[in-house]
């Protein structure tokens, strides 16, 4: 029975998938048949805002970028604690409110420390 229910639920998804694939296939095939084609060599280069691409695709990012990314991960994910807190705030006690303030304060202190250390400075001497 649950399996039947599962299938029933997904019937619509399945149909949508088929219709979607059908539409795209028709469009591609029709374009192939109807549209005029040019065999220009430049067509095979990758498109970058209309400029001629220079150098290899595997560009190196600056290491500084990774430091930002690492900091971002931390502050981004720590926010996950805010959601359950926000949902239950009305019923929770006053302590819960102040505990979250303390938590945000700790995060803020971490950010301030990174700032003071110059991690957020892109052009360090």
Partner 1 sequence: MTEGLNLDYSLLIPEFLLVGLVVAIVGLDLYAPKMKKTWLAYIAAAGLVAVGAVSLGYWDTDDNFANIIVVDDYTTFFRVFFVATAAVICLASATMVAEKFRHPGEYYALIILSTIGAIGMAASRELMTAYISLELLSFSLYVLVSYQKFDAKSNEGGLKYLLLGAFASAMFLYGMSLIYGITGSTYYSEIAVGLQNPTGDFQWAMLMGLVLIVTGLGFKVAAVPFHMWTPDAYEGAFPPITAYLGTTSKAAGFALMLVLFSQAFEVVHDDWSWMIAGIAAATMILGNLVALQQHNIKRLMAYSSIGQVGYMLMAIAALNSDTAQALLVHLVGYMVSNMAVFIVIIAWYNMTGKDEIADFRGMRERAPLLAWVLAGALFSLAGLPLFAGFVTKFVLFQSVWNEGFYWLIAIATTTSVVSLYYYLQIMRQAFVEKPAEGEESRLPVPLLMNGLAAALMVGVLYIGLYPQALFDVVEAATDVLFV
Partner 2 sequence: MHSPVLTLVLHLEEVLIVGAALFAIGLYVALSKRNAIGILMGIELMLNAVNITFLGFARMSVSEDPIQGHVFAVFVITVAAAEAAVALALAVAIYKHRETVNIDQIDLLRW
Could you give the string, one character per residue 96-115, with x where binding to partner 1 holds by CB under 8 A and - elsewhere?
Answer: -------------x---x--
43 binds partner 1 (CB under 8 A): no
> Running DSSP on this structure, what letter comes out for residue 121?
-
Could you give the string, one character per residue 76-115, with x where binding to partner 2 holds by CB under 8 A and - elsewhere?
Answer: xxx-xx--x-------------------------------
Cα dihedral 84, 90, 94, 100 in deg (nearest 10): 30
Cα 77 to Cα 107: distance, rounded to the nearest angstrom: 11
Half-sphere exposure of residue 114: CA atoms within 13 angstroms, side-chain side? 16
Phi, psi of 44 (to 5 degrees): -85, -10
118 binds partner 2 (CB under 8 A): no
Give the shortest CB-116-to-partner 1 separation in angstroms.
6
CB within 8 Å of 64: residues ≥ 6 apart: 122
Contacts to partner 2 by CB under 8 A:
1-2, 4-6, 8-9, 63, 66-67, 69-71, 73-74, 76-78, 80-81, 84
Which residues of this chain interact with partner 1, rule CB under 8 A?
91-93, 95, 109, 113, 116-117
């Amino acid at each position: 029975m649950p399996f039947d229910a599962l299938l029933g639920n997904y019937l619509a998804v399945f149909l949508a998938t088929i219709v979607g694939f059908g539409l795209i296939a028709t469009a591609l095939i029709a374009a192939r048949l109807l549209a005029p084609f040019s065999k220009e060599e430049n067509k095979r280069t990758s498109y970058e805002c209309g400029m001629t691409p220079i150098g290899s695709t595997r560009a190196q990012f600056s290491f500084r970028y990774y430091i930002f990314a690492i900091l971002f991960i931390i502050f981004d994910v720590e926010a996950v604690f805010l959601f359950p807190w926000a949902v239950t705030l009305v019923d929770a006690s006053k302590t819960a409110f102040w505990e979250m303030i303390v938590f945000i304060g700790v995060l803020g202190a971490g950010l301030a420390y990174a700032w003071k250390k110059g991690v957020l400075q892109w052009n360090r001497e």
